[in-house]
């Protein structure tokens, strides 16, 4: 079936929990169901056919997003990595955001999915499917006790770093133009983290790792390599994007990349300006299909965490993206793969169910 709101779009990254955390937190979680000034809420999701995705728990650095976006609108930039955040500071934030996620499930806004079968059931029921994901492992202790506890609470995906250093590794800075080859790889604790994630079958997200960290995960992990929200460096030479060599390694592992809507990673000039035609996003998807094949490309919107193209401002605008794919000549099976089927395939393989 293909209507303006079908197939459902299930994607690799959103910051809806951060948005709620900053807008009154748990006490105001009901605004997600009622609708509020955000890219993702229940009414907009119904209107646009948003099926959910990876809901990131993320500890914000004390830096002003407006200043960051302002700096990134320039022709060149090199933002330093923010200061590391100790576990005792990170854990309460992650607990609060987890509580928001559970509250959203309790109010019937979404279903927390622990298997691909859960996601299929949620999508079939027209329910938003949510993966409990942590972006940046600051809340995990070196002994990994918190990892085990969070897994039992529903955690199924983890980025060892955001663009910041942790005890596990080092993030890639927001630098343009630049390659992702900036800084050292995983620490010994980071290698233990990869091993434990493999044992628990928690997906390891490569999106904010620098290149050395990427290759360390590729060498250590027995799971498909996944970058939940990253774009093609060959089209936009931003440090946050993936080189063709990295894309080839993801293909060889039968992994997946979710194409990011953030304009700084889409535009050839790397600038954080939203006048980006959807054709520019299609260029990235074309390149990914060329390197990865049709089965290893998905979406990773970054909604509520990034500046996105005009005309794709919220999930209610997702019909414009489906239409752009039709206009670009993609056939129905390919559009269904990009919208959610490829994500389901790689999650089933990673989680084993
Ligand atoms: Zn991110």
The per-residue pLDDT for range 242-284, each reduced to its tens digit, is: 999 999 999 999 999 999 999 999 999 999 999 999 999 999 9
Tell whether the model's pLDDT for residue 17 goes beyond 80: yes
Share of the chain above pLDDT 90, in %: 96
In the reported structure, the alpha carbon of residue 216 is separated from the centroid of ligand 1 by a whole-number distance in angstroms of 20
Residue 2 has pLDDT above 80, yes or no: no
**pLDDT tens, 64-116?**
777 888 899 999 999 999 999 999 999 999 999 999 999 999 999 999 999 99
Q: Quick one: pLDDT at residue 69?
A: 87
Nearest to 306 by CA among 89, 87, 58, 90: 58
**pLDDT tens-place string over residues 155-208:** 999 999 999 999 999 999 999 999 999 999 999 999 999 999 999 999 999 999
C-alpha 2 – ligand 1 centre gap (Å): 30
Q: How high is the pLDDT of residue 39?
A: 98
Decide: pTM greater than 0.85.
yes
Which DSSP string corresponds to 241-279? SBPHHHHHHHHHTT-EEEEE--HHHHSTT----S---HH
Q: State the angle between helix axes of 244-252 and 211-220 in degrees (0 to 180), rounded to the nearest 10.
A: 10
pLDDT tens, residue by residue, 282-330: 999 999 999 999 999 999 999 999 999 999 999 999 999 999 999 999 9
Q: Which pair of tokens denotes residue 44? A: 């907009």
What is the tally of helices (H) and strands (E) in the chain?
15, 11
Give the pLDDT confidence score for residue 64 in this predicted structure.
72
Distance from Cα 103 to the centre of ligand 1, integer Å: 23
> How far, in Å, from the CA of 306 to the mean position of ligand 1?
9
* pLDDT of amino acid 159: 98
| Cα 29 to ligand 1 centre (Å) | 22
């Amino acid at each position: 079936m293909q209507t303006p709101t079908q197939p459902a779009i299930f994607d690799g990254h959103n910051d809806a929990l951060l948005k709620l955390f900053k807008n009154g937190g748990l006490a105001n979680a009901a605004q997600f169901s009622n609708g509020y000034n955000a890219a993702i809420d229940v009414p907009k999701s119904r209107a646009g056919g948003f099926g959910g995705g990876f809901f990131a728990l993320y500890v914000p650095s004390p830096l002003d997003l407006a200043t960051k976006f302002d700096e990134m609108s320039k022709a060149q930039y090199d933002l330093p990595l923010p200061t590391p955040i100790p576990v005792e500071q990170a854990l309460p934030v992650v607990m609060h955001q987890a509580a928001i996620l559970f509250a959203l499930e309790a109010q019937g806004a979404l279903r927390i999915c622990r298997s691909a079968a859960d996601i299929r059931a949620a999508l079939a029921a027209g329910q938003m499917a949510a993966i409990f994901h942590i972006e940046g492992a600051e809340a995990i202790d070196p002994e990994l006790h918190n990892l085990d506890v969070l897994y039992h609470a529903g955690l199924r995906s983890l980025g060892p770093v955001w663009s910041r250093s942790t005890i596990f590794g080092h993030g890639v800075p927001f630098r343009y133009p630049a390659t992702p080859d900036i800084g050292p790889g995983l620490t010994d604790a980071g290698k233990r983290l990869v091993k434990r994630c493999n044992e628990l079958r928690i997906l390891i997200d490569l999106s904010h790792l620098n290149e050395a960290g990427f290759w360390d995960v590729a060498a250590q992990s027995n799971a498909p390599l996944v970058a939940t929200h990253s774009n093609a460096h060959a089209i936009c030479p931003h440090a946050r994007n993936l080189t063709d060599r990295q894309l080839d390694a993801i293909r060889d592992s039968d992994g997946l990349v979710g194409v990011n809507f953030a304009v700084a990673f889409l535009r050839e000039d790397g600038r954080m300006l939203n006048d980006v035609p959807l054709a520019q996003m299609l260029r990235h998807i074309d390149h990914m299909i060329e390197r990865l094949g049709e089965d290893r490309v998905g979406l990773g919107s970054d909604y509520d965490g990034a500046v996105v193209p005009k005309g794709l401002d919220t999930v209610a605008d997702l019909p414009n993206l489906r239409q752009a794919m039709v206009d670009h000549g993609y056939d129905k099976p390919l559009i269904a793969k990009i919208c959610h089927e490829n994500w389901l395939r790689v999650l089933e393989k990673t989680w084993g169910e």
